[in-house]
Structure 1
Amino acid sequence: MSSRAEAKAAGDISSDRNFNMAQAQTSRKGFCSVRHGLALIMHLCNVSVGTQKMNLSVALPAMVNSTALAGSPNTSMETPPTASQDRWNETLKEFKPVAPMYDWSPETQGIILSSLNYGSFLAPIPVGYVSVVFGAKYLVGVGLLLSSVLTFFIPLAADAGVDLLIVIRSIQGIAQSMVLTSQYSVWVKWAPPLEKSQLINIAISGQMLGLFIIFLVGGLLCQTIGWPYVFYIFGGFGCICSFLWFPLVYDDPIHHPFISAGEKEYIVRSLAQQDCSRAWSLPIKAMIRSLPVWAILVFHFTEFWTFHTFMDYLPTYFSTILQANLRDIGILTSLLVGTTFICTILEGLLADFLLSRKLLTLTAIRKLSSAIGVLIPSAVLMCLHWVRSSMSVTMALLVLCHAAISFCQTGALINLLDIAPRYTGFLKGLSQIFVYLSGAISPAVTGFIISQDAEFGWRNIFLISASMNLLGLVFYLIFSQAEVQDWATEQTLTQF
């Protein structure tokens, strides 16, 4: 036993020495490395997915008769238009394409918008399992290409009928779930431990940038060149990203044709102690009994409760409580999403800095980030009702809230990569089920509360969201870990 321990210790020392040498060789590359290029490509793919998720929500007011006609009384009739204004209006009418409009009831609009989630409940777990066995390259690429091509057909589907539009949106939801679920499996073999947070955050922040772009320019596109171009432009962008993905992305650095020998050695050696091999079998019983897994799943449910409430009802809050107009609503929403995008990248860099300098352990970083990402937003939520009379104070608090929420991305939301790298894809798919479940419940609860109590409804919504967040955080802080679990290693594999 002693000789075996000594041999293991000697191997660890040798491995550490080689790792440090490789790290020194690749430190000069910085953000010009292939792994950071991979993060940038994945960032662009997530930008595309973010725009395709929200493009129909942004275009819908211009697609529906009742919504479009509601804006006509806003035109001032006090001053008659001049001759030059008449000529300018005629020129705009001449060049502006005529986009069709539809008589969809509010109930029909709700079904169309929610249809994106119909297939999402079924897709994540199979997609996660397939990504574990076969890799994520083709799942991400095919999912993005399929979603982008279907985006082109949404205007035609709307003309053909609501049923076809719902079917296309449902298939899009499955395709987008392929991208969002399986991409985490790429980082199992590409992300060195000291760069894991920054690489993943660079990639994932693309979703926030996509939301920022679609909120900022989507309405302008609808007003200037017509709502169909919202789907044509962002569908085309998605196709371009998928064409970049296939030739430039590989499941592991060993088979990448353009990576340098130094960077390849650095990545491989840094992950030498991590079991990244693929497996057909799954330790289901061990996963069910694992409290660290449940800590992450519960946190996903509670954290995304607030996220879905913000995404679905924040424009309504701006309109009804803050009395903002449509233009200001788009700008304010873009500001909040842009704040989350910037902070997500910065916090990934901060987490890796703390880990590389050994200022905090990985477990401490995950728990501290999660605590910041919950405690500050919860405090803000409990204050919003009392400052609603001031637009500036409300916006300052919301910016602080969205900046703090992004800390969760370096906390519990990537913790699965720490405890079970072999099964990251499958567990990520499982966590997506909890995200979609939260997204199905929280908007319904929010809508019910607002309809029952218009005066204090928002106060109750914010208090419920804060309570959910705090419960999830307490459960996570008690049971979470950041070490690879015994059941996630090949030696202790339990058959499925």
Structure 2
Amino acid sequence: MDHVGSDTEGDEPETPLLQRGHEDKPPRAPACGSSRYSLALLSCFGFFVVYSLRVNLSVAMVDMLNTTRHQSSPNHSSVCPPRPSPVRPKHNHTASTYDWDSVTQGWILGAFFYGYILTQIPGGYLACRIGPKWLLGFGVLGTVVFTLLTPIAADLGASYLIAVRVLEGIGEGVTYPSIYTMWAAWAPPLERSRLLTISYVGAQLGTVVALPLSGQICFYLDWTYVFYIFGAVGLLWFVLWSLLVFNSPNTHPRISEEERHYIISSLKNELSTSVQDIPWRAIVTSKALWGIVVAHFCYNWTFYTLLTLLPTYMNDILGFSIQQNGLLSALPYLGCSVTAVLSGQLADYLRESCDYPTAGVRKAFTVVGMIGPAGFLVAAGYTGCNYILAVMFLTISSSLGGVSASGFNVNHLDIAPSFAGILLGITNTFATIPGMVGPVIASQLTKSNTIEEWQMVFYIAAAINLLGASVYTLLGQGTVQPWAVRTSTYHD
């Protein structure tokens, strides 16, 4: 049974914090100007950087290809009548272009994930052992450096660019496990949803800004500046992260004593006394963990399919180019970022002020954040050539997906805060697979680019979302698991 807040076990002095009554809660430290919210904003900036570095290549790739060769091939007309393009000044074509076929382009765009999947579990383990600050910092710095080297790698040849993208993925792979390990030491249990969703929103904002801005940079400068400008922003973040962030409240020299006491007191019964002894067997056999694994995998199937193929759908079916309509390409991710932050506030309000069980809140937000998007995704396939309605449904679908940020996405910290980085590494390893195979399968299903084929893609994604929500509802837990707190007095 899952318990939170005012559950009846409050009279047991050694029951974990989330199972105690209100009288045992440490006094809350103010949020304004606090070190924990400064960490949330800096981690938000960090995820803005890593996601902008992740998606900018998909936009730059359009200008990296030999346009003369492309224009000589038969023009593909969209299913729907093409939308009128805005009048724009002459395109800048000063940078090099390359004769890469579609297979080579696919390898270049997909290479990131082959590096990314390699460092998920090692990243969680290393963050647990050596601390998350520098692991995350140098992971992002490595990604930044290889981003700055992208134009040189492209000139050397496609194989060099593929290698650089794999190395970028390796660097970025440690980011999520590291930030979960960081929040295990910094996030009071009843503030986890709001703090983590502030961090998460950086990923959505990075996508929102990078997609349209990369198109503008390519147009007015050239494609090489996409990597130089975003790389420079990444260097600025690394300097701020190095100077302002610390692994725990106890090592932070500028945190107030009130905030330090609040965080440490709220976590004292949740963290393991020794993270050196990692209970691998208990972790990999935990039903609570496998509930998160399935939900994470299923959610990412839809997310990565849309991230990769939404420009194709809009161009080939709805008849407008994402390059000329950057705002429309960003709307789904902007909506997702707004709902993620709002859901974080609501989830913690329900847990703290309304005494809703943590497990119930996580399951409810997961169901809304997965079944809601499934419904609107299917509906988008039946809008025909009404592109306004199609974009609206796709935006609502992605926006509702942001609700799950306060569902299964935060649950690692609920069930095992001491090992949250390792748990995230495990779930994100499985959740990276959809990024590698989902778009490939969807591409195979849409060879003729008919509306009926796209309806099948949306149906499959919706069915996978329903599966994830169902499994998580059955297996999800809201309390710290016995193996995550090495004390004999722990009661499940």
TM-score, reference length from structure 1: 0.89
Separation (CA, whole Å) in 1 of partners of 2:147 and 2:273: 36
Quote the residue 2:13 is aligned against: 8
How big is the shift at 1:280? 2.6
Is 1:301 aligned to residue 302 of structure 2? no
CA distance 1:302–1:416, change in 2 (3 Å): same
Structure 1 partner of 2:56: 55
Match of 1:403 in 2: 399
1:367 aligns with 2:381: no
Residue type of the partner of 1:167? A
- 1 CA distance for matches of 2:303 and 2:479? 28
Q: Partner residue of 1:379?
A: 375
Aligned to 1:78: none
Q: For residues 212-227 of structure 1, what are the structure 2 equivalents within 5 Å?
A: 212-227=208-223
For 1:349, what is the secondary structure of its paired residue?
helix
Q: Which has the larger radius of gyration?
A: 1
Greater share of helix: 1
1:198 is paired with a residue whose SS is: helix
Do the aligned residues in 2 keep the contact of 1:62 with 1:68 (CA within 8 Å)?
no
1:487 Cα offset (Å):
1.4
Higher mean C-alpha deviation, range 337-346 or range 236-245: 337-346
2:20 corresponds to 1:41: no
Q: Which residue of 1 aligns with 2:6?
A: none
Range with greater deviation from structure 2 (63-72 or 358-367): 63-72
**Cα distance, 1:452 vs. partner?**
6.2
* Equivalences, count: 468
Partner of 2:234: 238
Pairwise CA distance, 1:31: 3.2
* Unaligned residue ranges in structure 2 (runs of 5+): 1-9, 76-87
The TM-score, its normalising length taken from structure 2, stands at 0.89
> For 1:54-105, what per-residue CA distance to the aligned partner results, in whole angstroms no more than 9, with x for missing partners?
111110111111378649999xxxxxxxxxxxxx98xx79xx6821111111
Q: Deviation above 6 Å: which 4+ runs of structure 1?
A: 9-16, 71-74
* Superposition deviation, residue 17 in structure 1: 4.9
Match of 1:190 in 2: 186
Kindly report which structure 2 residues correspond to 1:201-280, keeping only aligned pairs within 5 A, or say none: 201-280=197-276
Q: Is the 8 A contact 1:197 1:349 kept in 2?
A: yes
- Aligned pairs (5 A) from 1:463-482: 463-482=459-478
Q: Distance in 1 between matches of 2:423 and 2:309?
A: 29
Residue in structure 1 matching 2:333, options 323, 337, 344: 337
Query: CA offsets, 1:97-139, max 9 Å, x none?
Result: 8211111111111111111112222211111111112210111
Q: Is the 8 A contact 1:141 1:245 kept in 2?
A: yes
The answer as to whether partners of 2:177 and 2:420 remain within 8 angstroms in 1 is no
Aligned residue number for residue 66 of structure 1? 67
Deviation at 1:247, TM superposition (A): 1.6
The 1:66/1:335 distance shift into structure 2, 3 A limit, reads same
1:436 to 432, 439, 464: 432
Residues 1:121 and 2:117 are matched in the alignment: yes
Question: CA 1:276–1:15 in 2, change beyond 3 Å: closer, same or farther?
Answer: farther
Unaligned stretches of 5+ residues in structure 1: 75-87
Q: Does residue 163 of the first structure (1) align with residue 159 of the second (2)?
A: yes
* 1:30 CA displacement: 2.5
SS at 1:259 equivalent: coil
Q: Aligned equivalents of 1:445 and 1:72: distance in 2?
A: 25
Give SS of 1:30's match.
coil
8 Å CA contact retained: 2:272, 2:485: no
Structure 2 residue aligned with 1:314, among 302, 310, 315? 310
Quick one: structure 1 residues 68 and 431, their matched pair in 2 at CA, closer, same or farther if it must change by over 3 Å?
A: farther
Aligned position for 2:4 = none
Mapped to 2, the partners of 1:200 and 1:243 lie a distance apart of 22
Superposition deviation, residue 454 in structure 1: 3.1
CA RMSD of aligned residues (A): 2.7
CA contact (8 A) 2:142 2:171 kept: yes
Shift of 1:251: 1.0
Distance 2:15 2:431 in 1: 45
Superposition deviation, residue 16 in structure 1:
6.2
Query: Counterparts of 1:216 and 1:453 in 2: how far apart (Å)?
Result: 25
Mapped pair 1:485 → 2:485: no
Per-residue deviation, residues 10-49 of structure 1 (Å, max 9, x unmatched): 99899965744x32xx2xx333211001100011110000
Deviation at residue 483 of structure 1 after TM alignment: 0.7
The answer to which of 484-493 and 111-120 deviates more is: 484-493
Tell me which residue corresponds to 2:320: 324
Q: Deviations over 1:301-343 (max 9, x none)?
A: 1111100110011111111221123445422111111111121
User: Shift in Å at residue 388 of structure 1?
Assistant: 2.4
Q: Is the 8 A contact 1:486 1:492 kept in 2?
A: no
CA distance in 1, matches of 2:112, 2:426: 18
> How many Å apart are 1:400 and its aligned residue?
1.5
Distance in 2 separating the partners of 1:14 and 1:323: 57
